[in-house]
A and B are shown apart, each in its own frame.
Chain A
Amino acid sequence: MDFITIFEPNLHVVKFDDLHEFEKLINDWNDADYLFKYFAKRENDLKYYGVSVIDAVRITRYEINQFRNKLQQILKSTNPDLDQLFTNLDNQEFRTNVELSKQKSKPNPKYWLRIYALKIETNIYLIVGGAIKLKKLMEEEEATANELIKLNKVRDFLRSEGISDYDGFYELII
């Protein structure tokens, strides 16, 4: 496990193998073939959204373009406020013992791309991964469940090195 700085001094990312997690996300989310196959496998989930596979890819492309605009705003600033960008992951998103009625009554954001991170200090974040989140709870689908495993793994590693993080996981909703 390695750590790379992608925006000094505030933003860092985990590297598990050849590419760091941010590179992987950018590559996958820019890849029409990857996205088409991702949504084709989850055609049943898309019925909730009332969109076809091809339109799901287009919506994702649209979100990524918005994400680029956000990143550009960050780049322009000499002292970016990442605390505005990342929000504390709601417990209900990764704990399964929540009553179904409560899950459904909770207002939801409109977008499905997620970047997951740990908060090291005020305005200092470590990106651990990301996913296209189609279901309410992270543990409900493989893609987001894997992200939870990664978050826990990286947190445990940091703690073993004597580094603490803020309570809870963080996410960037694009």
Chain B
Amino acid sequence: MVKLRESIIFFTLLFVAGVLIYSYQNIQTIKETTVSKIESHEVGHLESFASNIQRHLQSSYNIKDATSLYDLMSDDATRERFEQSLGVILSKHIIYAYMLQMDSSGKFRFLLDASSEDKASFYEKFDAESELYRDVYEDKKARFKKQQGLKNIYITYAYPIVIDGETIALLSFDLSTELQYSILKQIAPLERFFIVLSIIVVIFLLISIIQFINYLITRKRIFIDPLTQVYNRSYLEEILTKLDLKNYSLALIDLDKFKLINDTYGHQAGDSMLREVASIIKASLRESDIFVRYGGEEFLLLIYTRGDAILAEEIANRVRKNISSKIFHINDHELKITVSMGLHASPSYEKNIQEAIKTADIALYRAKSNGRNRIEIFSESFKGDTHKEFVLECIKDAINLGKVLCHYQPVYDAKDKKIIKYEALVRIYNKEDRLVMPNEFLPYIKGTNLYYKITKRVLEIVINNIKTELKSISMNISFSDLMDSDIFEMITEHLQESHLPKNIITFEILESDEISNTQLFKERVLALQSLGAKISIDDFGSGYSNFRLVLDSEANYLKIDGDLIKNIDKNEKDFKVVDSIVHFAKNSHMKTIAEFVHSKEVYDKLIELGIDYMQGYYISPPKEHLASEDELFKN
């Protein structure tokens, strides 16, 4: 897409090139015209001079033919007079003036020679210029010849002396190269002007060409993604103003579980796969479609459909199938990859392309949530889900703008009167900088890439805080998080890289009925423990409470569900349940933690039950910083 500025540069270059050619031609034309005019002027002067001599010969000496002229010039005195007359015209520009006559054998001979030096004798033969002289003799017309290579002679002018229709002799004049020099000297400033002008134009042209080439190189660098060699986001921004969205459908493509490839086979392998995927997509599209690498493993397509939604879906499907059917050879492994796509068939219905992309993104997340390797086409029903859309936007902004943070609630050891660790609780700030609680956003992103991203961010925050404060912190993950290979590998990778002290980080795992592969769950818990992390079973006692699984997991802590705790001072049944859990934990060598400790009464009851650790607003609300013991029990 060439901008107006580049068009102007291009046409300026064309114009300048035209001016250059025109100027160059002008120099030559003007030079030739000027030289020709000065020559004509000089020759015209000679013609008039020669014509006077002819008239003089006719009128004063009654010359009738060649013989009478020869006879006249045979006389030394007469010849001397004529030579003096002829010599009048000699100057630094006209160096020779002489009269020649053709004899019966066709040779030209001197009748007169006005030169003082190199003077010819009377009737001496003259071998030169016979062709010119013969022509003048025959057609009785004066003519001149530009000499080449004759010393000092620039032009020879021959004028026929015609009496009664017969040429009886001719006058010949040799013009000096001095004349040529003086002509060239006169036009030299003009020529210099044009040469300087041409040089300036050439320099300007070269600069412009260099700038234009530079622009093309820079443009490529700016708009082409160096890895995949497809357009990047900057290009999309560049073409936005000129793009008529009515003619396009918009699709967002995301590579499924691409991170796994990167983590397993290395970034080089990942890059290689991205390149190949980009190449497949490119080959599946038409010239009229626009293909952009939108993010890490995200691509954006503008499919030229002119409103044909079926065509858009066909092309999107073709892209998806071509990728899923391809076997990639990476590090001697044969791999396959799939893509999820969110398609907006009519992006022009949106306020602008950004809105259309957001909408396609929602469809993409739906494709991801619905099992990946599929295309979700945005429909108006999606629009009903405006709150979800809003929440997703809110989370994306928070991640991109660094507005994800943690608050920390102390977990208190009532027996030793000290804080044993802190529970990290995720928060985000929305656009209005209002603190948004996790229950407001986590349910909407479960199973999506955003959930992965936010988990990763929380883990990074927790690890950084542990490193800074050297205090034990726990963070929440669900059973399903643990079973998600992407999340699990991200956690283990971070633990390996961070080199945290042993037992300083705890993962509080919220149990659920999603666990089908209990063996894998146990393996992953053990893997985390082997990396120095502690495991806590969260919210135990409500919901599923799979005692067997808890026992098998060999967790370090058992956190009793807050619903059982909050009314424990009033509800006898809850008291009994908690009492049983405490016994179960003690027998299983697990420490118990009670949450939702909101009053002194609850606190006292829990002490009575022999709960190991407690947390709740009575002790301390979650705070942005890691609270000290002095800050506890202030509510």
**Bound pair (A, B):** no
B residues near A (Cβ < 8 Å) are: none
A residues near B (Cβ < 8 Å) are: none
